[in-house]
Amino acid sequence: MTTDFSKHQKIIDSFRGEVNKPSFDIKFTQSTKHIPKTERFLLKMELKRLASVCYRCIDLRGLVDGECKIYEHNGQSHFMDDIAISVFEEQVEIHNGYTFGVYEELKNTKNNFRLIFENEKNHIEQAKSPKKIIESVDKTQDKIQYPVAIFPLNQYQDRIEERMNFVSSLEATLENNQKKSISSIDISVQGIKFRISSKDPLYIDQNITIHFKGLESEFQFSKGEMFTYQVKNIYRDDNTQLVGCQRIVVGDNDPFQRFLSGYIQGNKRRYKINLENTISAVQSRSFEQYVLPTINELPIYFERVGERILPRYVLTTNNNHSVFQYWQDENNESNLHFLVNEARIARLIKKYKQGKSLRVYSFVHQNQGKFFFYSIDEEQLLKTSDFSPSFLTFAAKKSSFKVTKLTYYDVNTLNIHSPFALSGTLEAKKQFINLPPSDDVIDCINSLPFAVVATDITHKTSVELYQEFSDIQIDVTKFKKFGHKRLTDKVVVDRLGVTYKNQRQEPRFIYSTPVLMESNGLQWQGNSIDFSTLGLKAETEKSVTLFVGDVVYITFPNLQKITSSYELKKLPYEVVKIDDKKTTINLRVYVKAHQHVGRSFFKLLIDKNKNKLTTDEYTFLVPGLAEALRTNYAQNLQVPTLIVQTSGSRYKIEALVSNDKGNDFLQKLHSLSDRKNFYNFYPLLTKLYKDNFLESCLKRLLTHKEPITEILYISMGKDLKNIKTSVNVKSDNELNTPELRRFFIRKAITNGSFFSFQLKISRTNKPDIEYLNTELSYISAYAIHRSKQIEQDIWSVVASVQYVDITDEVLFSHGL
Interacting residues of 799 by C-beta distance below 8 A, sequence separation 6+? 644, 651, 698, 701, 761, 762, 763, 764
- CB burial of residue 736 (10 Å; 0-12, 13-18, 19+): exposed
Residue 713, classed as helix, strand or coil, is strand
Provide the 10 A C-beta neighbour count for residue 579: 11
Alpha-carbon gap, residue 683 to 723, rounded angstroms: 9
Helices (H), ranges, 709-813: 723-726, 738-751, 769-782, 784-795, 807-813
pTM of the model: 0.66
Q: Maximum CA pair distance of the chain?
A: 107
Write out the DSSP string of 531-594: E-SSEEEEEESS-----TT-EEEEE-HHHHTT-SSS--SSEEEEEEEE-TTS-EEEEEE--SSS
Bridge partners, residue 313, by sequence: 301, 494
- State the sign of the Cα–Cα–Cα–Cα dihedral 721, 724, 730, 736: negative
Q: How far is CA 382 from CA 344, 377, 702, 714, in A?
A: 14, 9, 42, 27
Residue 403, classed as helix, strand or coil, is strand
Domains, in order of start, for the chain? 6-116 (no CATH), 164-272 (2.40.10.220), 297-411+448-496 (no CATH), 509-617 (2.40.10.220), 636-813 (no CATH)
Write out the DSSP string of 62-106: TTBSS--EEEEETTEEEEE-HHHHHHHHHHHHHHTSSBHHHHHHG
* Residue 175 DSSP symbol: G
Q: How far is CA 169 from CA 194, 198, 259, 338, in A?
A: 10, 18, 17, 66
Q: Pick from 678, 626, 365: which is nearest to 500 by CA?
A: 626
Q: How far is CA 157 from CA 151, 275, 278, 628, 802, in A?
A: 14, 11, 8, 19, 27
Rg (CA), the chain: 33
The per-residue pLDDT for 431 is: 46
Residue 156, classed as helix, strand or coil, is coil
Bridge partners, residue 804, by sequence: 758
Alpha-carbon gap, residue 469 to 472, rounded angstroms: 9
Interacting residues of 350 by C-beta distance below 8 A, sequence separation 6+? none
**Do 275 and 784 touch, CB atoms closer than 8 A?**
no
**Going along 317-436, which residue ranges are E strands?**
358-367, 370-377, 402-410
102-135: string of b/e by CB count within 10 Å (b at 16+)? bbebbeebeebeeeeeeeeeeeeeeeeeeeeeee
Alpha-carbon gap, residue 417 to 542, rounded angstroms: 41
**Do 218 and 229 touch, CB atoms closer than 8 A?**
no
Residue 489, classed as helix, strand or coil, is coil
The per-residue pLDDT for 132 is: 38
Q: Pick from 728, 726, 709, 708: which is nearest to 717 by CA?
A: 726
Sheet of strand 402-410: strand arrangement:
370-377, 358-367, 402-410, 450-456, 298-305, 308-316, 494-497
The amino acid sitting at 689 is Y
* Residue 445 DSSP symbol: H
- CB burial of residue 236 (10 Å; 0-12, 13-18, 19+): exposed
Alpha-carbon gap, residue 468 to 566, rounded angstroms: 75
Q: How far is CA 784 from CA 81, 621, 774, in A?
A: 19, 41, 14
* Residue 447 DSSP symbol: T
**Do 193 and 242 touch, CB atoms closer than 8 A?**
yes
* Residue 703 DSSP symbol: T
User: How long, in residues, is the chain?
Assistant: 816
Provide the 10 A C-beta neighbour count for residue 693: 15
Q: How far is CA 596 from CA 61, 467, 506, 648, in A?
A: 53, 67, 17, 50
Alpha-carbon gap, residue 123 to 103, rounded angstroms: 28
Provide the 10 A C-beta neighbour count for residue 503: 17
Interacting residues of 610 by C-beta distance below 8 A, sequence separation 6+? none
Average pLDDT of adjacent 10-residue blocks, the chain of 816 residues = 66 78 77 80 83 84 79 82 85 84 84 73 51 37 81 73 84 84 87 85 87 85 82 80 86 82 82 77 86 92 87 90 88 88 92 92 88 91 85 90 94 84 54 72 90 93 88 76 82 84 66 90 89 86 86 91 86 83 84 73 80 58 83 89 87 89 86 87 90 86 84 89 87 89 92 93 86 81 82 89 93 89
The amino acid sitting at 106 is L
